[in-house]
Each structure stands twice: as C-alpha cells, then as structure tokens.
Structure 1
C-alpha cells in the first residue's frame, strides 16, 4: 500500500491546484490551438485534453466503486476502450474540450473530496491498489500532461515534492541489471534499482524527473557517468502502466 506521510489533505490540495492549471491553460485555446501538436509524438493538444478527461473519469469511478466496497476496471472497455475514447474525442473543438475536461475534473475532485479518512485505504482495481494510489495517479497524470500541452508550463515547473514522488514511482523503469544513483543538484542522492551496473545521473531535480518520465528535460543539465567516465544516459523500461494492452 502506498504511504502518504503528509496526509491526504496535501494530495487533495495538489489535485485541486493541478486541475485548476489545466483549466486555466485550456481557457484561451481556440480550435486551431487545440489541433496543434503537443510534445507527445503523434498527439495533438486535443489528444492530451481527451486523455485528461478520460483519466479523470477513470479515477473518479475507481473511488465511486471503492466507496461501495466494489472494484471496477480502470477504463470501460480496458486499454482498447481508453484508446478509442481518446481518438474519438481528440478532434473536438476547443469549447467541447473545455466542457468535457471541466466536467470530468469536477467529478474526480468531488469523488476524492468526499472521502472519509479510512476510505483512502479502500481497494481499487487500479494497480490492485487502494484509493490513495488512484489519487496519486491522477496527480501524476494532471501534472505531466499539463507539460505535454506545450503551453509555458514544462517540467521545469514541477515541484520538489512531485519530482521526488516520481523518483519513487518510476523506479520500475530501471532495468533489472542496473542501479541509478540520482544526484539532484543541492539535494541528497537517491539510489533506484538493485542491479550491478551503476550509473550516476546528475543535474537539476526537474531535469532528472523529466528524463525518468520520458519527457525532454527543460534545462539541459543532465550528465551520466559510470566509473568516473561520462556515458550516455541509460535506457529505461516502459512506463509502469496500470492498464495493460491486450
């Protein structure tokens, strides 16, 4: 079970602020801006907004079922249903995207806001975890996909708490034969993985987190070394998705 040492109220505040930023950035977009490319290959901003809508609805229903003592698959129709819904909604106009995103975010925030303290530990289907895991997942998705919109809020804006959370969550991307010693400038090192091949990755905290998340570091400060020699950044395993493709 995931631990949240700062308490659910901190996560709720992060969810509300992340959702507000998504809506703030979507507010001035016109149809042409929605159809423009995002930073994700093959995805427009419309695809990103459609995904934000989808993950918000998905996590809302995880909570809604959990409060009844039930579980339900993350997306209706599984991974294929997720993909089909994104493709269907991606081409919508800006006004429709704003309405859909607002409705889905409102549903998700209301679901998490309604939780009693003990309900954060209720079981969900997402990653065979608990409601807290769903809340953290929504936080990750909102923050990272806000950066994917390519609208002035890149990974350099990610908070220290968010970056350190990504270090923990994305340890699953370390290849089995590696361990990474992450050395954020001005902060203690963090070791991920247990393999024999060690690589030190140093740079700004946000750049290391962006690289682990498969995004382009904004500040270009990364350096990798092994046995005191500069080396290429090591490969990463796939994102630890909670929805498997069939």
Structure 2
C-alpha cells in the first residue's frame, strides 16, 4: 500500500514521544507479539474472568483490541484511496455491540479473530511508504501515524488490563514519554502539572496547550515518581501510589483530577 493520494509532503518532527516511522512500526510489532503471547494459553474460563477494567471480562478486552486493529486497518484501506471513513463500522454503537458480542465467544475464536485483525493491521502498516504515514484519516482528525500510535497504545495498555502478568512497570521510557504527550489533553484548562519522573527530564502539562520542557515558574502542581507510575496514573490505571507524590507550594496534596481519555480531541 504505497503512494497515498492525499499525503502531504512535509515530514513529522522526530522526538522521544513521536518515534520515526520505522521505530513506530517496530514498536507496534513488538507490542502485538507481546499481546499475543499473553493470550496464547487462555482457556474459556480465563476469558470469562474479570479483567482489570470495571465491568469488562478478558473477553471484552480481547474483542476490543481485535476491533481496534481492524478499525486501523480499515482507516489505512480508505486512506490508500484518498478517502476517510469513521473509525468503526456503525460508529460508537457498532463498536460497543461488537465488543459485547465478541466477549462471550470461546477463547479459541477470540484468539483467531485477534490474530486475523492484528495480521491485517500489521500488514497494512508494514506496506506504507514514508509519505503514506502522513495521509489523512478520520481518527482524531489526524494522519496514518496517529493510527499507528493508537494501536501501539491499545496493545501495551490493554496487555496490563488483562491481568495475566504484564504490569505498567514494564512500559518502556519511550512509551511513557509518548503517554506524557498524548495524555496531556487530560489536564483541565487552567491547571499546570509539572511531571518529575525519576531519571528523566521534567516536563510541564498545561490544560489545552499540550506539553513543554519545564522552563517557567509559578503556581504548579508537581507530580514526582517513577515514569511508569506517572504514565499509569495519566492513563487511568492504578500506579504504585507509594512512589507518587503530588505537591503544591511545597505541601503534599492529592493527585490532580484528570479529564476523560482524549479520544475525541483532534491530533496535534
């Protein structure tokens, strides 16, 4: 799949939270292989068991991840024609219906559907030229690269949601950096959060304005801790709260309340 008709020629800046296309493709492939390994031996009883997501079984998680992979492959299919299409067939209702229907299937069928969806998505991303990564898609009013980042996020985060041994403390520094950037949209307007991950450069998240290297002074909530725990907190997962500390004006405070996941906010 090369030569997308509407792909702009400008390049995307490379940074720790925006990996080069080849690195992103490798990250997605590694995450897909890890996710498959997490579900390879699950039984029917295992997929009926609760996941770490409230109200969802592991079957819900598997059906959702398969749906995301299919949805991203569908985005690329249409981008190759110079067209865009809604992320899920049937919109959010179609997404929710597919997850509920898939959640009650057998472990073998869920694995087969997941494998087929991941194979389709990985093949589609693997066929891209450098220019194709910048073709428009409807997901977050972004480009193909945003779809690749989304699939990477879904695979890594939902691997921990399965509760089969993967924990947020295994997330790579690059993945944490990416979450700091993407999830800056969860910071409410008028709030500034200074992240101080151990062993990494501090950065500031400000409501509606994204992230920046810390270079300002003023009233700021500082969140200190392991990068993986800060990333887990931003992602709405349970961090090791013993490693996180929030401060304002040198006083310990509760961690700031965050906005919902930024699925509906256009890509930057």
Normalised by the length of structure 1, the TM-score is 0.95
Provide the aligned length of Structure 1 versus Structure 2: 244
Q: Find the counterpart in structure 2 of residue 232 from structure 1.
A: 254
Q: Does the 8 Å CA contact 1:78/1:243 hold for their aligned counterparts?
A: no
CA distance in 2, matches of 1:125, 1:37: 32
What SS class does the counterpart of residue 183 from structure 1 fall into? strand
Deviation sequence 1:39-61 (CA, Å, 0-9, x none): 10000000000000000000011
Structure 1 residue 93 corresponds to structure 2 residue 115:
no
Q: Does the 8 Å CA contact 2:186/2:207 hold for their aligned counterparts?
A: no
Q: Find the counterpart in structure 1 of residue 232 from structure 2.
A: 210
Q: Find the counterpart in structure 1 of residue 66 from structure 2.
A: 53
Q: Which runs of 5+ in 2 are unaligned?
A: 1-10, 209-217
What SS class does the counterpart of residue 220 from structure 2 fall into? strand
RMSD: 1.7
Q: Does the 8 Å CA contact 1:203/1:223 hold for their aligned counterparts?
A: yes
CA distance in 2, matches of 1:72, 1:220: 44
What SS class does the counterpart of residue 242 from structure 2 fall into? coil
Q: Find the counterpart in structure 2 of residue 11 from structure 1.
A: 24
Q: Which runs of 5+ in 1 are unaligned?
A: none
Q: Find the counterpart in structure 2 of residue 37 from structure 1.
A: 50
CA distance in 1, matches of 2:265, 2:60: 18
Deviation sequence 1:179-222 (CA, Å, 0-9, x none): 00000012211100059852100000000000000000147311
Deviation sequence 1:17-64 (CA, Å, 0-9, x none): 100111111111001111111110000000000000000000011011
CA distance in 1, matches of 2:265, 2:50: 25
What SS class does the counterpart of residue 51 from structure 1 fall into? helix
Summarize the Cα distance change of 1:216–1:83 in structure 2 as closer, same or farther, 3 Å threshold.
same
Deviation sequence 1:72-99 (CA, Å, 0-9, x none): 1000111111111000100111101110
Q: Does the 8 Å CA contact 1:178/1:197 hold for their aligned counterparts?
A: no
